[in-house]
Amino acid sequence: MNANPKTFRVKSFGCQMNVYDGERMAELLADSGMSAAGDGDDADLVVLNTCHIREKAAEKAYSDIGRLRREDGSRPLIALAGCVAQAEAAEAKARSPMIDIVVGPQAYHRLPEMVAAAESGRRLVDTDMPALSKFDALPARRRASPSAFLTVQEGCDKFCTYCVVPYTRGAEISRPAGDILAEARALVDAGAVELVLLGQNVNAWAGGLDRLIRALSTIDGLERIRYTTSHPADMSDALIAAHGEVDKLMPYLHLPVQSGSDRMLRAMNRSHSVESYLRTIEKARAARPDIAISGDFIVGFPGETEADFEATLQIVDAVRYASAYSFKYSARPGTPAAAMEDQISPEIMDERLQRLHLRIAEHQLAFNRSTIGRDTAILVERKGRRPGQMIGKSPWLQSVHVEAAAKPGTMLAVTLTAAGPNSMSGAVHAAVAA
């Protein structure tokens, strides 16, 4: 282990909130006097910011730890952070003696003190969940990518029967509007053009997410607002209306449904039905006809029959998703679904996942094709593979390839000219004056 670490690396797995947390941990460590290790260089401190959502994600944390031992037998100081740290603090230390620090998602503002204490050879654990205090203890934002994440809500009280998030992230809390607006302004000053508001149930933000979005939309220099992830039961009429009224709010809604079978939705404790979900989608399309709908699905939840699964294919057809993520059910320790009868075999799960992937891909391609010919704007984010090529995002979150000498953060006026399954091509008219 490395006493007195001078360089660090933060590696984040899992959802966008973990990416946000990873950025904040890096800022915190930099403020405490350490510097980020260069690409390919050994770091004195490695923070593994882990995800517990499915078994595979959680196992990745442990296999990564094994790879941190160097050829000469030495190793960095290792901090296990994120949702695995929260869920398995005790087991993690027993499983891997190489872990020096265990710090949960609500306690990482204490990381610098823990690093200092770990130098004396003690193994430290902090998985307290003091609501909100981490945000107050974090340094102000000074760096931002063109599209920047901003956590506004954290935790979950929904307790879907398959899900670990209520245990790893704790009870639902909303950050105060004033704090969010201050952080938003700092991010825009630091170069953000788009803000993605994050929460495990972002649309349950206590002050009304529509009102927060309207307040954020008055920030000069901020061009685009997105939010994720929403729960269907918290999709208010006011938030839907905002999609038709706030220009900066992008026409994109990620609204996970998980299954197209009411029987499965009940077993999952989802608190919405197929019908209520479809009604919400209809309202969103009435407010903003071009809105792109995205979703999440779980196949092979305990007890799922072929008929239940076919109902899922039907809801995919009914919604015509612009994109969607689908996962094989993974039994998670401590969740009610893990103890349910009729666990589905891996073979059946594989077969269903494949069929669902194909169906989603058809709709995604159809959506992309339907946007050919549109005159729109992209936010340039990065270089493409070919020389002179840049990649930006359309309002509908499509990746658009263009030939242009434009820096990340530039808004370009484009016509969408061609569609692929996962991306678009565009022809540039001009830079949009911000």
Asked if 82 interacts with ligand F3S (CB under 6 A), we say: yes
User: What are 258's strand-pairing partners?
Assistant: 297
Q: Which of the choices ligand SAH, ligand F3S, ligand SF4, none does residue 168 contact, using the CB cut-off of 5 to 8 A by kind?
A: ligand F3S
Q: Are strands 424-431 and 194-198 parallel, antiparallel or unpaired?
A: unpaired
Task: For the CB of residue 233, give the shortest distance to ligand SAH in the complex, in Å.
Answer: 10
Q: What share of the chain is helix, strand, coil (3-state, %, to 5)?
A: 35, 25, 40
Q: Which of the choices ligand SAH, ligand F3S, ligand SF4, none does residue 161 contact, using the CB cut-off of 5 to 8 A by kind?
A: none
Length of the chain counted residue by residue: 434
Q: Which of the choices ligand F3S, ligand SF4, ligand SAH, none does residue 257 contact, using the CB cut-off of 5 to 8 A by kind?
A: none
Task: For the CB of residue 269, give the shortest distance to ligand SF4 in the complex, in Å.
Answer: 8
Nearer to ligand F3S, 49 or 394 (CB): 49
Binding segment (CB under 6 A) for ligand F3S, from list 47-55, 288-296, 344-352, 421-429: 47-55
Q: Which of the choices ligand SAH, ligand SF4, ligand F3S, none does residue 329 contact, using the CB cut-off of 5 to 8 A by kind?
A: ligand SAH
Interface residues toward ligand SAH, by CB under 6 A: 53-54, 162-163, 165, 200-201, 229, 231, 256, 258, 296, 298, 327, 329-330, 332
Asked if 52 interacts with ligand F3S (CB under 6 A), we say: yes
Binding segment (CB under 6 A) for ligand SF4, from list 159-167, 373-381, 399-407, 424-432: 159-167
Asked if 129 interacts with ligand F3S (CB under 6 A), we say: no
DSSP 244-265: HH-TTB-SEEE---B-S-HHHH
Nearer to ligand SF4, 248 or 263 (CB): 263
The pair of structure tokens assigned to 267 is 């077993």
Given strand 147-151, what is the order of strands in its sheet? 147-151, 194-198, 224-228
User: What are 419's strand-pairing partners?
Assistant: 424
Which of 11, 60, 93, 158 contacts ligand SF4 by CB under 6 A? 158
Residues 15, 118: Cα–Cα separation, whole Å:
28
Asked if 25 interacts with ligand F3S (CB under 6 A), we say: no
Pick from 360, 251, 284: which is nearest to 315 by CA? 360
Which of 134, 169, 270, 359 contacts ligand F3S by CB under 6 A? 169
Query: Cβ of 250: how many Cβ atoms within 10 Å?
Result: 24
Pick from 152, 249, 133, 243: which is nearest to 198 by CA? 152
Q: Which of the choices ligand SF4, ligand SAH, ligand F3S, none does residue 14 contact, using the CB cut-off of 5 to 8 A by kind?
A: ligand F3S
Residues 127, 86: Cα–Cα separation, whole Å:
6
Nearer to ligand SAH, 299 or 419 (CB): 299
Asked if 199 interacts with ligand F3S (CB under 6 A), we say: no
In the block, residue with structure tokens 């058809």? 362
Helical ranges in 195-272 per DSSP H: 209-216, 237-245, 262-267
Task: For the CB of residue 165, give the shortest distance to ligand SF4 in the complex, in Å.
Answer: 4
Phi and psi at 93, nearest 5°, equal: -65, -35
424 sits in which H/E element: strand 424-431
The pair of structure tokens assigned to 224 is 């685009």
Asked if 263 interacts with ligand SF4 (CB under 6 A), we say: no
Task: For the CB of residue 228, give the shortest distance to ligand SF4 in the complex, in Å.
Answer: 11
Asked if 338 interacts with ligand SF4 (CB under 6 A), we say: no
User: What are 134's strand-pairing partners?
Assistant: none
> How many chain residues bind ligand SF4 (CB under 6 A)?
10
Asked if 332 interacts with ligand F3S (CB under 6 A), we say: no
Binding segment (CB under 6 A) for ligand SF4, from list 88-96, 104-112, 161-169, 364-372: 161-169
Binding segment (CB under 6 A) for ligand SF4, from list 106-114, 154-162, 176-184, 326-334: 154-162
Within 13 Å and on the Cβ side, how many CA atoms surround 239? 25
Binding segment (CB under 6 A) for ligand SF4, from list 3-11, 122-130, 156-164, 374-382: 156-164
Torsion sign (Cα): 46, 327, 157, 207: positive
Nearer to ligand F3S, 12 or 261 (CB): 12
Asked if 17 interacts with ligand SF4 (CB under 6 A), we say: no
Q: Give burial (CB, 10 Å; 0-12/13-18/19+) of 275.
A: exposed
Torsion sign (Cα): 85, 90, 91, 95: positive
Residues 78, 65: Cα–Cα separation, whole Å:
8
Nearer to ligand SAH, 255 or 411 (CB): 255
Residues 6+ apart with CB under 8 A from 128: 104, 106, 107
The pair of structure tokens assigned to 21 is 């947390």
Residues that bind ligand F3S (CB under 6 A): 14-15, 17-18, 51-53, 82-83, 164-165, 168-169
Residues that bind ligand SF4 (CB under 6 A): 156, 158-160, 163, 165-166, 200-201, 231
